[in-house]
Amino acid sequence: MDGGPGRAFGSVFIGENAYGSRGPAHANRKNALRLEIEVLSKNLKKQFVLSLAVALLAPLVAFATATPAIAQAAPEASTSAEATTEAPAKTAHKVHVVIITNRLTYQPPTLVVHVGDVVEWINKDLYIHTVTSTDGKTFDSGNIYPKRSWRYKAVRKGTYDYSCTPHPDMKGKLIVR
């Protein structure tokens, strides 16, 4: 025996020793577990902070990148004699809706609108989607998060094919007359 609080049993020492435990293997295992717990704790803290940041920033980014609603300007008052005659009625522009479905499709897949009309794509899927013209220049919604929408005002006549950047098999067509 070494005179410590433990006792020898055969060639195996049982009880406390200079390592403060049941031997060097136990101390190493204990230290390894302590280090592993510290690493896991740090990783969980990082994941929590990242998920919190994403949860807080995603709506702000979506709000900042969304196109604001189209507002009509009030007609200016005029003091000239021409102001007494009525101006011809303006053609009312329509708002058309395209639904981004959970089947990775745009509904309707083809939409015909007139110059000045507004098209609103509403994401009813669980995933982020985009509405990006195939020429890459005419329009690009950026990310449309679930339960969010994006609006585009048709300004030029033409036929515009578009797709979803993360899901290139999602295709649609916008025809502006």
Domain end position, chosen among 22, 49, 64: 64
pLDDT, averaged across the chain: 76
Residue 111: pLDDT band with limits 50, 70, 90 = very high
pLDDT for 80 equals 37
Say whether pLDDT at 153 is over 70. Answer: yes
Q: Number of structural domains, the chain?
A: 2
Q: Is residue 2 part of a domain?
A: no
Q: What is the rounded distance in angstroms from the CA atom of residue 117 to the CA atom of residue 95?
A: 6
Q: Is residue 76 part of a domain?
A: no
Query: What is the 3 state secondary structure string of the chain?
Result: CCCCCCEEECCEEECCCCCCCCCHHHHHHHHHHHHHHHHHHHHHHHHHHHHHHHHHHHHHHHHHHCCCCCCCCCCCCCCCHHHHCCCCCCCCCCEEEEEECCCCCEECCEEEECCCCEEEEEECCCCCECCEECCCCCCECCCECCCCEEEEECCCCEEEEEECCCCCCCEEEEEEC
pLDDT for 45 equals 75
CATH number of the domain enclosing 145: 2.60.40.420
Q: What is the pTM of this model?
A: 0.51
Q: Is residue 27 part of a domain?
A: yes
Q: Residue 123 is part of which domain span?
A: 94-176
pLDDT per residue over 11-47, tens digit each?
Answer: 454 555 555 555 666 667 777 777 777 777 777 777 7
The verdict on 54 and 99 lying in the same domain is no
Domain end position, chosen among 18, 49, 64: 64
